[in-house]
Structure 1
Amino acid sequence: MTGQRDRWAELTGGEAGEEYARRFARLVESGHDVHGEAAFCAALLKPAARVLDAGCGTGRIAIRLAELGHHCTGVDVDPSMLAVARREAPTQEWVLGDLARLDALDLKPCFDLVLAAGNVIPLLAPGTEPDVVRQLAAALCPGGLLVTGMGLDAAHLPLAEPPLTITEFDRWCTEAGLTLRQRCSTWSGDPYEEGCGYAVSVHSRPTT
């Protein structure tokens, strides 16, 4: 652990929940489909699967997956984001916690799918990224999937420059015992090519 604040907290001060929720409400009002991540994950899941939304924010994805019949737990380090999630879906499980210390949280093992969308990985505290990947991998059932979405350049990140490369991320996943199963450039499933500014990755944990 580095003891540093995560990049998200540095950007927002940990008080972005309401504004984040309003931004997506405006997108819905203007006719945008805001459920691309949920649809992508749902296509990978069997009915009534257990899902961990790691860095769940205001709960948008976990709430949608629950509507589709899955059992979802959301974890986030930002209380302002979780306050919105708890208001929108009070019966769902929302946990305040650091992803680098996921094993210290009172979560029921194990999950069929762990999701880290919305630039969760690039916005972690510097130096904690490999630890978080190991924690997310350890939360998976045998055969479970880690699904991530992240910007790889400044145009797809709220940062001046990307803090990691896709090669580094794949290495952390390999070290955590995961295998790359699929990679796209969008949540709609568009093909990924070298140099793409965004990557949606599906890594799997071995079945044994």
Structure 2
Amino acid sequence: MDKVQADPGHSAWYIERFRDLAAAGHDIVGEARAIDAMVPRRARVLDAGCGAGRNSGHLHRVGHTVVGVDVDPALIAAAGQDHPGPQWLVEDLAELDLPAHGIPEPFDVILCAGNVMTFLAPSTRTEVLRRFHRHLAPGGRAVVGFGAGRGYPFDRFLADAGDAGLVPDLLLSTWDLRPFRQDSDFLVAVLSAVTSAPS
């Protein structure tokens, strides 16, 4: 929310940007298609940092049970307007506790796209990843994607994930499944939960 406070028009710009891209026929759900390929029909999906709901909406339309969470009330309002079907919740990912909101868990997969991890306060990153771990079903996976050069080096992220009890199954450089290399400028990490997360 620091970004929104610094630029009060940011949320409205972001909402309209994706509405305009969708209206122009652009592909705005590549992340959702990748997630859909990883899970069976009717999977439980948590979209963490869902923004205005583009990925949650697609995953709901193809048959999954979806909960979308974002800290920005304006984005959640737009998500509910544009993408009826998923359950929407305004919540800070560092305080994520869905059972406290009456939302059943666990989830088969958690999607965290849109560079969300790089917008978090550095002091909360490992806690957010711990919260992901706590909300995953046995055998579930968290899929996190973000770009390089945003103040969160990939090796630091993977170390934080390990501290949170999440281990990499697969590292990709794009949402269309291109392999990750040391010089990749984007990371899509498919992470599995180990038996118990460190406290």
TM-score normalized with structure 2 length: 0.90
Q: Partners in 1 of 2:164 and 2:23 — Cα distance?
A: 41
After superposition, the Cα gap between the structure-2 partners of 1:57 and 1:195, relative to the gap in structure 1 and judged at 3 Å, is: same
The gaps in structure 1 that reach 5 residues or longer are 1-5, 154-161
Q: Output aligned runs, 1:1-208, within 5 Å.
A: 6=1, 8-9=3-4, 12-13=7-8, 15-103=9-97, 105-106=100-101, 107-153=103-149, 162-206=150-194
Provide the rounded CA distance (Å) in 1 between the counterparts of 2:174 and 2:7: 25
Taking a change above 3 Å as real, the CA distance of residues 187 and 53 of structure 1, as seen in their structure-2 partners, is same
CA RMSD between the two structures: 1.8
CA distance in 2 between partners of 1:7 and 1:196 (Å): 28
- Flag the structure with more relative contact order, 1 or 2, with Cα contacts below 8 A and sequence separation at least 6: 1
Q: Percent identity?
A: 37
- TM-superposition CA deviations, 1:5-28 (whole Å, max 9, x none): x55435544x53332222123223
Which structure dedicates a bigger proportion of its chain to helix?
Answer: 2
SS of equivalent to 1:58: coil
Superposed structure 1 runs of 4+ greater than 6 Å apart: none
Post-superposition shift, 1:206?
3.7
Unaligned 5+ segments in structure 2 are none
1:191 Cα offset (Å):
1.6
Task: Count the aligned residue pairs.
Answer: 194
The offset of 1:92, in angstroms, is 2.4
Distance in 2 (CA, whole Å) between partners of 1:101 and 1:44 is 27
Distance in 1 separating the partners of 2:70 and 2:148: 22
CA contact (8 A) 1:122 1:164 kept: yes
Residues 168-197 of structure 1 show CA distances to partners (whole Å, capped at 9, x for unaligned) of 111111112221011111111112110211
TM-score with structure 1 setting the length = 0.86
